[in-house]
């Protein structure tokens, strides 16, 4: 069990960093798209990210109170969300190619879609946050949410800096229609594989 404010802060920082490496890539893509296509605006990325994280934390706390969330072995099914998004964007890119369109499809178009993207990419977050919140007291939970809020600001700032590189912006302008779907397919596949859900499916439907 996590005890003491320092332990809570350290644990919160480690959990946030470990579950949001992929979100840093998403943030970079969002800022690259913002500079390449004008959508979403920077403030929409900030607000959407905080709204999305708020929903993930709220769901995790609700699950922790009853500890009825699907077991971590099945949480990898959340990876289907970014996979679906990637396939939809891949289909849109293919249609754009056939019609001769050259403007890359934006990663998100506004605050709501940024928040939805954050939530869709947060299956691994929920599977980690719910057990953590289940072990914390009220004070440690407040500390943890404060750490999440501060670190998210740093994450967004880092994504903005990475997304301001001219060469990267040019690459998105040229290849964004294919790059963005590929990234989301890879993120979704990583969530599914690393969660062990495929192994659970094999056990649930044994051969022979």
Here the tokens at position 181 are: 């779907």
Residue 1 pLDDT = 46
Higher pLDDT, 105 or 57: 57
Summarize pLDDT for 18-30 with one digit per residue, the tens.
778 778 888 888 8
Residue 69 pLDDT = 47
CB 114 within 8 A of CB 41: no
Ranked by mean pLDDT, the top range of 81-90, 111-120, 125-134 is 111-120
Here the tokens at position 125 are: 């977050």
CA angle 30, 34, 36 (to 5 degrees): 115
| Mean pLDDT, residues 99-110 taken together | 65
**ω before 40 within 30° of 0 (cis)?**
yes
3-state helix, strand, coil in the chain (%, to 5): 80, 0, 20
Here the tokens at position 184 are: 């989301």
Q: Tell me the CA distances in angstroms from 206 to 146, 200, 201, one per residue in order.
A: 45, 10, 8
Residue 148 pLDDT = 94
| Mean pLDDT, residues 35-58 taken together | 91
Summarize pLDDT for 57-68 with one digit per residue, the tens.
998 888 777 655
Mean pLDDT of the chain: 76
Dihedral sign, Cα of residue 67, residue 71, residue 76, residue 79 = negative
Dihedral sign, Cα of residue 36, residue 40, residue 41, residue 45 = negative
Q: Tell me the CA distances in angstroms from 160 to 17, 33, 42, 45, one per residue in order.
A: 17, 11, 8, 10
Summarize pLDDT for 135-181 with one digit per residue, the tens.
777 788 888 899 999 999 999 999 899 888 777 666 655 665 677 67
The H or E element spanning position 118 is helix 111-120
């Amino acid at each position: 069990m996590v005890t003491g404010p320092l332990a809570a802060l350290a644990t919160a920082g480690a959990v946030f960093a470990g579950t949001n490496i992929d979100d840093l890539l998403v943030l970079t893509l969002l800022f690259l798209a913002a500079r390449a296509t004008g959508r979403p605006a920077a403030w929409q990325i900030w607000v959407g990210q905080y709204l999305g994280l708020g929903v993930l934390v709220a769901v995790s706390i609700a699950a922790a109170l009853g500890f009825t969330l699907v077991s971590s072995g099945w949480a990898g099914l959340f990876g289907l969300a970014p996979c679906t998004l990637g396939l939809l964007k891949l289909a849109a890119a293919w249609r754009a190619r056939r019609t001769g369109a050259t403007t890359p499809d934006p990663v998100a178009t506004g605050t709501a879609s940024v928040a939805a993207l954050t939530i869709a990419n947060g299956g691994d977050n929920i599977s980690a946050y719910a057990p953590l919140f289940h072990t914390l007291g009220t004070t440690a939970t407040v500390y943890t949410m404060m750490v999440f809020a501060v670190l998210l600001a740093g994450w967004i700032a880092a994504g903005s800096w990475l997304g301001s590189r001219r060469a990267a912006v040019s690459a998105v302008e040229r290849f964004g229609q294919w790059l963005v779907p590929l990234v989301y397919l890879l993120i979704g596949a990583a969530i599914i594989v690393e969660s062990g859900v495929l192994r659970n499916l094999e056990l649930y439907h044994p051969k022979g």
